[in-house]
A = this chain, B = another copy of it.
Amino acid sequence: MNAEIVAVGSELLTPQKIDTNSLFLTDQLNSLGVEVVQKCIVGDDRARLAEAIRSAAARSQVVIVTGGLGPTEDDVTRDAAAAALGRGMQFSQAICDTIAERFRRFNRKMAEINKRQAFVVDGAEVLPNDRGSAPGQWIDADSAIIMLLPGPPKELMAMWELQCLPRLQLKLPPQVIRARFYRIAGMTESDVDQSIAPIYTRYTNPACTILAGPSDIQVHLRARCDTAEEAEALLAEVGSQIEPILGNRLYTCTGESLEECIGAILVERGETVSVAESCTGGRLAERLTQVPGSSGYFVGGFITYSNDAKVKLLGVDAGMLEKQGAVSDLVARAMAVGARDKLGAAYALAVTGVAGPDGGTEQVPVGTVYIGLATPSGVHATHVRLPGDRSRVRTMAAQTALDLLRLHLVGHTRDK
C-alpha cells in the first residue's frame, strides 16, 4: 500500500516555512509498512488543491491532506476534497454544536464563520478534534482512503493517533519493517554505488537507498516482511554480501556518526584523545565534543592557526616550520606529538592544510591537507588533496582525520 501527503497552505510556499507534519506522518506510515511515494504542497487554492487530491487518489491508496480546515475563506480543503471526488457536502448541526460548546468552555462566543467547519463531505466519517475546533474527515472512496487532517501539529498528531491509526490498521495486512543503516568513510557516492549496485539491484526487498551526507556516504537497507524473522533474514542475506565489499570503510551498521563510533571505542578502553588544528580551525574538536559524554575521553585541544602558535603552544620546531612549510608531513607529525605530550592524552590528531580560497601555491595547492596521528606506539601521517570550497575542505579534512583515528583504533589501515 502506497501513500501520498498533500500539505495545504500558502504559508508553506514562502521561503521560511517547511511542511514538517509530513515527517511525522511518514514515520507513522512507514512503521505500518506503508510507503510514502509522493508529497505535494499546495497553496490555499481550491482548484489546484482539488486537482492535487484527485491525481494523488488516482495514483495511491492512501491520501492524507493536512491543513486548510480552519474557518476562514482561505480554508478550502473541505470544498476541494468534495470537488475532487465529485461529491456534495452537508451541514452538520452536531459538529456546529460541538464547536460552539468548545468556544463556550473558553468563555468565548463562536464566530459565524466557524460554521464553515461544520460541513462534511458526503459519505465521510467525522474525526473529532479534542485539541482544536476543526474536525477531520475520513473518506473511504473507491480508489483510495482520503483523510482530511488539521494543520497544527498538536491537533494533527492527536487525531492521527486516536482516530486514523486504528482505522488504518484495520485495512492493512500485518507487516514488519527492519533496517540496516550503513555509514561509510573515504568513498564517494558513485564509488559506493558502483561497488554495491551489482548486489542491491538484484533485490527489491530489502530496498536500498544511497545518500551523500555532508561528510560521508550512507546506505539504508529496509526489509518489509510478514514477520521480524523473515525481515532479519533478508537483511542478513543482502548485508552479508555488501559489508565485505565496503570493508573497513564501513564504520557502522546502525547509523552512528564517526565521532560517536570513536567515542564508544575510547570509552570502552578508557583512553583519551586531544587535537591540534590548523586549517580546520576547531571543527575537529567541535565534532568530537558534539557527543554527549565526550568530556570522558576528549581532554582538550589547540587551535594553532599561526606558525607562532604552532611553536609556542605545541613546541613545533621553528626551523622545521620554516624549511618544510606549515602544510607538510613533518609539521603534522610534530603538531600531533605536541598535542599528545602537552595534554597527556593517549592519542592526538593534528590537521594542517590549505582550506582556501587564498594561501595555495603551486607546490601546495588549495585543498592540500596533512594529518598527523600520535599514538602510544608511534606517529603516523597521511595527506589528501580535497576538492571543493573552504567549507568543504574543512569538513572533509576533519572527517579524514577522524577516520584515520578510527582505523588506527580498530587496528587497520584503510582498505584499497
Contact = CB atoms under 8 A, between A and B. Distances in A.
B290 A391 contact: yes
A277 B220 CA distance: 36
Given A111-B190, A304-B300, A305-B298, A390 B16 contact: no
Interface in A78-129: 105-107, 111-114
A131 interface: yes
Interface string A231-252: 0000000000000000000000
B27 A23 contact: no
Tier of interface size on chain A: 35 or more
Candidate in A42, A285, A298 with the most chain B CB atoms within 10 angstroms? A285
Contacts of A107: 385
B40 A15 contact: no
Contact of A106 (B277, B302, B306, B385): B385
Interface stretch (A69-77, A137-145, A165-173, A408-416): A69-77
Candidate in A27, A282, A305 with the most chain B CB atoms within 10 angstroms? A282
A165 B252 CA distance: 41
A282 B277 CA distance: 10
A252 to B, nearest CB: 16
Contacts of A37: 13, 42-43, 45, 48
A289 B285 contact: no
A189 B70 CA distance: 9
A254 interface: no
A71 B312 CA distance: 48
Q: Report copies per complex.
A: 2
Contacts of A283: 282, 286
Contact of A38 (B36, B43, B189, B358): B43
Interface string A266-304: 000000000101001111111111101111001111111
Contacts of A152: 212
A281 B292 CA distance: 12
Interface string A395-415: 000000000000000000000
B26 A15 contact: yes
A320 interface: no
A392 interface: yes
A72 to B, nearest CB: 4
A74 B388 CA distance: 24
Contact of A40 (B23, B39, B309, B343): B39
Contacts of A390: 290, 292
A55 B12 CA distance: 20
A289 B281 contact: yes
Interface string A6-43: 00001111111010100110110010000111111111
B39 A13 contact: yes
Interface string A332-357: 00000000001100000000000011
A155 to B, nearest CB: 10
Contact of A300 (B13, B295, B309): B309
B305 A295 contact: yes
Nearest to A16: B211
Given A13-B35, A13-B38, A70-B189, 6 more contacts: A16-B211, A18-B18, A38-B41, A112-B194, A282-B287, A285-B285
Closest 6 CB pairs of A and B: A281-B289, A282-B285, A300-B309, A282-B282, A15-B27, A282-B286
